[in-house]
Structure formats: C-alpha cells, structure tokens
Structure 1
Amino acid sequence: MPIAHPKYRAAAVQAAPAFLDLDAGITKAIALIAEAAGQGAKLIAFPETWLPGYPWYIWLDSPAWGMQFVQRFHDNSLVYGSPQAERLEAAAREHAITVVMGHSEKDGGSLYMGQWIIGPDGATIARRRKLKPTHVERTVFGEGDGSDLSVHDTPLGRMGALCCWEHLQPLSKYAMYAQNEQVHIAAWPSFSLYRGGAYALGAEVNNAASRIYAVEGGCFVLAPCATVSPEMVQQLCGDDAMKRQLLLEGGGFTGIYAPDGQLISTPLPEGQEGLVYADLDLGMISLAKAAADPAGHYSRPDVTRLLLDKTPGNRVVLRQRAAEVVEPDATDEIAANARQEVA
C-alpha cells in the first residue's frame, strides 16, 4: 500500500509587531492565528523576535543612547509559564493549529532570541534559542547551546527552526539537515535596515538564504518576515533625519519555498501586512532528495564530518551528595562492646 504523506496548508506572517507592548502583541498574534486557521492552515510561523519586536535601536546609535529602550524591552519580553504565554497556548489549542512564535525570551535577568513551537493541543513541542546572536545583537541577547539545533517529530512532519543569519552558518544548517528535517521555519526580522548601504542585510541575499536552505535540506521552508511600521519609525527615530535614512518603513518579504527551491506562496507588497499561504505535500521531499541529499547519499563522511554536541549549556548545575549511611556489621558491634568494657 502507498504511504500517505502529510498534506496541509501552511501560513507565514508578514506584519509589524506591537512594538514594545507584549500584551498588544499577544492580542495581534491571536488574531493572526485565528485568521490562518480560518483559511484552513494547520501551521503558522511568526518572524524573529516578533514579540515584542526586534530591537532596532541597537543598530541606530550608541549603546548609551539605546539604554532608554532597555527596561521596556526587558519588561515586554516573553516569560514561559506567564499569563501571556498561556494565552498563546490557548489560541493554538482553540484553533487546532501548530504555532511557531519568534520572541524575545526572558529568563531571570537575561534575554534570548527564542522560537517556541506549540502543538495544536496547546502543548509545547520545542523551545529553542538562537545559537549565536548576530553582531550587535550580542549586546542584548545571550547564546543558545547545542540542544537548540534539534528537529522534532510532529504530525506535520519533522520540524525545526532557525533565526535570521543562522542560515549563513554552514555547520548549523548541516546539523539540521542531518536530522532529516522536513519542514523548516526560517524567521527574519525585516529587510528595512541600512537599505542601499549594506547589501548583505537586504531582501535579495536573505531570501536567497531561505531558498538555498530548502534546496540543500530538501525540505519545505517557511520564511516569515516582519515589517517596520510608521509608528515604529517614529518611536525609534523621532525627527532624526539620519536615523530615518537607516531604518525605513516596510521591509516585509515573507515567502514559502518547496524542497526544489520554488517559491510556492504569493508574495505581498513589502509594506503590506497579512499572511502568505502554501499547500505542502511532504511526498515531494523524496523527489528532491533522490537527486541530492547532502547529509545522506550525496555526502562523503570519510572526507568531511560534523561533530554536534547537543549537551544543554546550563549556567548552574546543582550537585548534592547524598549522606552515606553505613550499617554496622558484627565486627563493629564487638569493637564497640570492647570499648565499653575497657571504660
């Protein structure tokens, strides 16, 4: 009998965040989740740090200038187990849809660039952190560890996720390919920064990275990409003409790619908010990998191999030695009695 490969509709978000307002961002996310489910989608993917928005201020001026945003960014980052997190879990459960949320994760006093995969029952499938924040992102966010390079079994296929320029890290990508990834979420923050002055940050290069990931990995790639709203520009730039040249409105270039590299979603204009959709047939993967499987038959492990250490990098490891209890034997009792007699 032929194997029934999963077939379903997927959605990727192209929208501005409710910048520095976690509660409003959760409300907006729930509306997009409901919209996607209403269109028959079984999976929805959100951009990088969409909650509470990407911290563009780190690219616009000195760290001292950016300090004005730090407390608010911390206060509006997502804490797992919080009422805001529970609202997302409830939305996934209510609409029976798998949600992949990009967010700033607050854990104690530190922040991490998180991606949270929530199943259609509202239960957590996976939580991951960006392995190495890019450039000035390292002034805000901590690092992930090897356990964050993982692919997970779901009813929608073997699913994994990376953020932004993790898609320029050859060994990280290869680690994901080698785990037989079938559906990948490539989360991007917006391609509106330094436009015209830094080609590598633009849409052409980064959309190409998502497309190449699909071809190399022989997998479907959802590449959600946020937009920058006029309100965000006003918050971040004010009337500063130079800053307004560095951070432009728009920058949304969301797409969904097939395992052969085709763009299978209909693009939205870069400043328009909405969802892009595509119908995924995981049976296509075998056709792509029959031609080239770089972590399988198209590899040469006798020449090049990857060492992947997935040990969690816990900052604090508690070790408590149990008290040793030694039962006295007959010899101990005789010696004790002898001491008493001598006394």
Structure 2
Amino acid sequence: MTRVRAAAVQAEPVWFDLDATTAKTVEIIGQAAAEGADLVAFPETWLPGYPLFLWGMTAGEQIPLAALYRANSPHIDGPEIARIREAAAEHEITVVLGLSERDHGSLYMAQLIIGPDGNVLLHRRKLKPTFVERTLFGEGDGSGLQVIDTPLGRLGALNCWEHLQPLLKFSMYAQHEQIHVGAWPPFGDQLAQFSAEASIAMSRTYAMEGGVFVLMANGVMNNVPGFTGGGAAGIYGPDGALLSEPIDPTREGLAVADLDLDAIGIAKGFADPVGHYARPDVFTFSVDRTARPAASVGPVGESEPARPAGADDGELPSIAM
C-alpha cells in the first residue's frame, strides 16, 4: 500500500506584489509540511496572482496594470523561485507552483514541479491560454505535456481550462498519471462555464476518466473591489469522490487528504482509458513533445545553419496510442 498526504491550496495572493506573495508561498509551504503533507499544490498564476483585469477592461485601460503585472512576474532562474525551492528542500516537500513566468519580453502561464530536494523536476507552460488570456500570455508547446516519476507516484499538472481539452487530457492519461494537480484561478458567477460548479465538474471528470487523484487548487478574492470569495479547493479520488473536507469559499485554507494509490487499480479495473477500455484499433493518437523555440541561434562564426530544435538530438519521444 502506497499512501501520500497531499494538500491543495485555497488562498489569496498579495495581488501583483511578487516579494510579498513569495513570502506567503514560503509560509504556506511550511503550513502544509506542518500538517504532514508530502505534496502541496498552488493555484494558477499564484505568483503574482491571476490577472482578472483582462476580463473587465479595455485594452487601453489595461496598460498600467499589465505593466505592473509584468514587472512582478518572476523569472524561472530569479531569486523568488530560488527562495521557494529552498523552502521545499527545507521542509522536504514536493511543491507544484503556478506562476506568470517572465521570459525576456513575454509572459507564460507556467507550472513548476519542485522536488523535496529543491530541484525543479518539470517546467511547463499552458498550451493554449484561454480567450482574453491570449492578449497577455504566450503559448506553451508539447514539451510540457509530461507525467514524471517521483517517490510519491507518477505526477502531472495542468492549468484551468486545459481540463476542457480532450486530447490534451488523454496525453496525460496515456502516461499512466497517478496524482494530478489542477491549478485554477478564483471563480466568479458571471458566466456558468467559469463558475466553481463547472470547474469542480471538470476536476471530478478528470479524476474518473483518468483513474487518478486530482488536487484542485485555486485562489480566493477578498481584497479585490467587487469580488468576495471564489474558492473551491478540494481533492478527488479516482472514483470521483471528494476526499478532503470542504473549505468555506471565502476563506483561505488547505484541502488535505491521504491518497491510497492502490485505489487507482480498483478504479481502473472498471475503466482504464489507455488499457482494457481503449480501442486502438479504431482510434489513433499521437503527441509531438518537441520543444519549439522561436529561433535556433548557433555560436558566432558558425559556418552551417543551425539545426531545428530537437533534430536528432535526443528530444522527448511522441506518445502513440
């Protein structure tokens, strides 16, 4: 029997303040460790908070906030991420962090899986930002569609409406994921498809479809004019059952549960989407996980054109079903 104690974060960042939210991240990591958690998961773009202004302002009105947001978005190799990695190592806990990643002139909706020794095990970017998010964030590529082996089990992560993309989800199922982190922003009630109820349905569906444990982490908004609450963090078993105690949607807290990985075998005995319940004779599926940089620039004085990224140099293989 393999048991993992997991925690999904429901909290409010210090909006668009990178230093203060980094300090709060370190504090929450310590709280999760104090509860005996082996794994703690943070919401989408936790650092430095979800850019809600994208949904309610014109492009011109957004410019000052977008500039502030960009200035407070961390670099992967910056001091804020280093501080969070040190906290993971100090508490010997695996951390799945959501962030707005600043890479030179562009931002990406990224996730990091940081191991209990502080090493980065996976750095991925949201494959397709949703709707107005595309005005601020760039797209990821297939190299981030990875499920990684850890001492806790096979661990993967996606952001928000990536859980509404069937082929993207199947690419994760096909890697025999056991523990999945779903990172979400705070929820409102303006549109049904952006509600807490809809997002919970997506998380539970992912758990049942994939036969995996799902950590649903999300933010709350109590210090944003016109909004209150929006939390719905929880942990779901491979049968779709809620395993953690409910948290008041207006309050900060940790959804905590003990995961018995043996339950995955029971769930997949009923329906294994990439095993006995699949039909590879009818459907074919492949994923290109080649990294796609915008340019491949060779050293000064290179006499031959640089090869495309991933050309015969050990790139990640495609998944074929």
TM-score of the superposed pair, with normalisation by structure 2? 0.92
- Is 2:37 the partner of 1:58? no
Q: Output the amino acid matched with 2:37.
A: A
Shift of 1:313: 1.1
Show the counterpart of 1:285.
Answer: 264
Deviations 1:212-258 (Å, cap 9, x if unpaired)? 0000000000000100122x22xxxxxxxxxx3xxx21100001000
Show the counterpart of 1:93.
Answer: 89
CA distance in 1, matches of 2:285, 2:298: 31
Shift of 1:190: 1.0
Shift of 1:297: 1.3
- Between structures 1 and 2, the one with greater strand share: 2
Show the counterpart of 2:308.
Answer: none
Q: Show the 5 A alignment for 1:80-119.
A: 80-119=76-115
Show the counterpart of 1:131.
Answer: 127
Show the counterpart of 2:215.
Answer: 222
Q: 2:24 aligns with which of 19, 28, 32?
A: 28
Show the counterpart of 2:309.
Answer: none
- Between structures 1 and 2, the one with greater helix share: 1
Q: Output the amino acid matched with 2:263.
A: M
The residue matched to 1:304 in structure 2 has which SS? coil
Shift of 1:6: 2.6
CA distance in 1, matches of 2:6, 2:154: 14
Matched residue pairs, number?
Answer: 303
- Is 2:140 the partner of 1:144? yes
Shift of 1:295: 1.4
- Is 2:240 the partner of 1:261? yes
Shift of 1:319: 4.0
Shift of 1:80: 1.2
CA distance in 2, matches of 1:70, 1:296: 46
Show the counterpart of 1:42.
Answer: 38
The residue matched to 1:259 in structure 2 has which SS? coil
Q: Post-superposition, which runs of at least 4 consecutive aligned residues in structure 1 deviate over 2 A? A: 318-324
- Is 2:67 the partner of 1:71? yes
Show the counterpart of 1:337.
Answer: none
Gaps of at least 5 residues in structure 1 are: 234-243, 325-343
Q: 1:250 aligns with which of 210, 224, 229?
A: 229
Shift of 1:318: 2.4
Q: 2:196 aligns with which of 166, 183, 203?
A: 203
Deviations 1:66-105 (Å, cap 9, x if unpaired)? 1110111011111111111110010000000000001100
Question: Structure 1 stretch 301-310 or stretch 98-107: which is displaced more?
Answer: 301-310
Deviations 1:159-209 (Å, cap 9, x if unpaired)? 0000000000000000000000000000000112xx1x4111101111000
The residue matched to 1:225 in structure 2 has which SS? strand
Q: Output the amino acid matched with 2:5.
A: R
CA distance in 1, matches of 2:74, 2:269: 41
CA distance in 1, matches of 2:120, 2:86: 11
Q: Output the amino acid matched with 1:214.
A: A
Shift of 1:315: 1.1
CA distance in 1, matches of 2:2, 2:121: 18
Q: Which structure: larger Rg? A: 1
CA distance in 2, matches of 1:126, 1:18: 25
Q: 1:173 aligns with which of 163, 169, 189?
A: 169
The residue matched to 2:218 in structure 1 has which SS? coil
Shift of 1:115: 0.5
- Is 2:250 the partner of 1:271? yes
CA distance in 2, matches of 1:250, 1:305: 43
Show the counterpart of 1:300.
Answer: 279
The residue matched to 1:68 in structure 2 has which SS? helix
Show the counterpart of 1:241.
Answer: none
CA distance in 2, matches of 1:168, 1:307: 18
CA distance in 2, matches of 1:37, 1:129: 26
Q: Output the amino acid matched with 2:209.
A: E
Shift of 1:148: 1.3
